[in-house]
Amino acid sequence: MALNRAISGFIALFTLKTPRFFPMKKAIRLLAQLNRFFSDYDKS
């Protein structure tokens, strides 16, 4: 769970620093995929 939060925080920082190259919609979609991946990973 901490790893998930760390990656989410990193992506949020990255998105804030480079909004032009990394649109918010794409970032949200990526975060959703990461959250799904990590919840599956935690279950196993």
Contact indicator for 43, 2 with CB cutoff of 8 Å = no
CA distance 10 to 8: 5
For the whole model, what pTM was predicted? Answer: 0.41
Q: Specify the pLDDT at position 44.
A: 66
Q: How high is the pLDDT of residue 20?
A: 67
1: DSSP letter: -
* Residue ranges of domains in the chain: 2-43
DSSP state of 18: -
Whether 6 contacts 35, CB under 8 Å = no
Which tens digits make up the pLDDT trace of 1-44?
Answer: 677 787 778 777 776 666 666 677 887 888 888 888 888 877 76
